[in-house]
């Protein structure tokens, strides 16, 4: 999916991700406040954000190492998956290059 071609308008900003990308989706969702997080199939390694009518601004992500809490919605064809207990945010600005 290319930018600006999502087929529907949404009321709530939504972060879409494929099974296996839960940590990346949680990290991205942290920058969008109360966004909906939805597991979908067929988008590969991509984490996609669809801005809803409720979108105001991107917020600063929590500091690296902070715990993140998200509620994941899934379409009816996706099996449930448990998020890791040690899920944290990694902010690229907090990572040193070696």
For the segment 11-33, the average pLDDT, to the nearest whole number, is 87
pLDDT digits (tens, 9 = 90+) for 30-85: 888 788 898 888 888 889 898 888 888 888 877 777 777 766 666 655 555 566 67
Domain residue extents for the chain: 14-94
3-state DSSP of the chain: CCCCCCCCCCCCCEEEECCCCHHHHHHHHHHHCCCEEEECCCCCCCEEEECCCCCCCCCCCCCCCCECCCCEEECCCCCCCCCCCCCECCCHHHCCCC
User: pTM for this structure?
Assistant: 0.64
């Amino acid at each position: 999916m290319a930018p600006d071609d999502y087929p529907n308008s949404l009321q709530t900003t939504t972060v879409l991700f494929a099974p296996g990308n839960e940590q990346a989706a949680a990290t991205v969702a942290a920058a969008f406040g109360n966004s909906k997080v939805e597991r979908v199939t067929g988008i590969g390694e991509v984490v996609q954000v669809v801005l809803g009518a409720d979108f105001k601004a991107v917020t600063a992500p929590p500091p690296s190492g902070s715990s993140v809490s998200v509620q994941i919605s899934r379409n009816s064809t996706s099996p449930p998956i448990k998020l890791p207990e040690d899920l944290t945010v990694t902010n690229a600005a907090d990572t040193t290059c070696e």
